Amino acid sequence: MVDGRIVKIANLLLEYSTEVRSDDKVLIYADLAAKDLALEIYKNALIKGAYPWIRVEIPGRQYMFYKYAQDKHIQFFPEIDMFEIKNTDVYIALRAPLNVKELSSIDPSKISMRMKVLKPIFDWRVEKTRWVIFYCPTEGLAQEAGMSLQEFEDFVFNACLIDWRKTSMELHKIKDRLNRTDKVRIIGSNTDIEFSVKNRSAVVADGKRNMPDGEVFTSVIEDSVNGVIEFDIPAVFYGNIVEDIHLKFKDGVVTECKARFNEVFLKKMLNTDEGARRIGEFGIGLNYNITRSVKEILFDEKIGGTIHLALGRGYSETLSRNESAIHWDMIKDLRVNGEIYFDNELVMKDGKWFIL
């Protein structure tokens, strides 16, 4: 028997997140362990009169590709995938990794090179489909989070099954204030950084793209970033964990970088392309049902009382001009000795917002 919370998540993703309707072409891209949820979504999409289909990711397939692929395979552009996404109205990704470190031994330059090749497919999906990503609880995710599977299931469903319409109203208050702001300053442990968001367009993330969700994000004036920041929550990218990242910015560009753990990987990613050393996104975590890191960005970037900066590609909807093959979110915890200023006004202290 399917967990009743799975049924609720399926309805949430279909009815609220992507608003699937009759005749929509719905691509359900699912890891094998997400089978129950994929089938529930598939069934309900059929009932709605949509045209769903499922693509299944087999555990180990990505590792096999990066381990044995020749340069010609890395550089090969899959026209069939491009055709598929161009004929998709709704894209629902159900991630359920059994081994979150599957790609940790792979040369990161291979991953970044492949990402460059696949960028047109990614861009089309982000900009021209209604899409949402959900992470199903698995033993692998639970182990990485330091929880039992049951504890992690409760954590995930507690973060997702909330009143998203009420939450959306609160997030819009932050968005409206951010859109009236020029200078943002962030102060915290080993952190004092400033940048401009003037005339950029903030976006409310209220469960329409990610689940769980709960953030407001925008882009920055690309050459306006100056100062230093220490990211005290582990930054995870394709199974690689980098801890205690320190970055120094001058006129928008990372000029110094170091990390306590996995610094080599950090530097390789920063060298992906010119845009990888610039900020593509400034995000504010506002889901206070998520209180701790589980080493998975979909959850960690939403932690209430945090901010994140993404190196690399920005989103066109925020009017970002930064282009890159990567988009890597790095999270700063401001719940202890943290402050955010909008145009010299203190708007958040120690994780508490004064404009909500």
Q: 130-135 and 191-196: which strand pairing? A: unpaired
Mean pLDDT, consecutive 10-residue segments, the chain of 356 residues? Answer: 88 97 98 96 98 96 95 96 98 94 86 91 94 94 93 95 93 96 97 98 94 96 97 88 96 96 93 94 97 91 97 94 93 97 97 89
For 312-317, the CB contacts below 8 A with 24+ separation are: 312/272, 312/275, 312/276, 312/278, 312/280, 313/275, 313/280, 314/219, 314/279, 314/280, 314/281, 315/126, 315/203, 315/217, 315/219, 315/280, 315/281, 316/127, 317/127, 317/201, 317/203
| DSSP reduced 3-state for 184 | strand
pLDDT for res 312: 95
pLDDT for res 1: 64
pLDDT for res 176: 97
| Domains of the chain, earliest start first | 4-160 (3.40.1830.10), 164-353 (no CATH)
pLDDT for res 320: 96
Q: Distance between CA atoms of 354 and 347, rounded to whole angstroms?
A: 5
This prediction's pTM: 0.84
Q: Distance between CA atoms of 338 and 28, rounded to whole angstroms?
A: 40
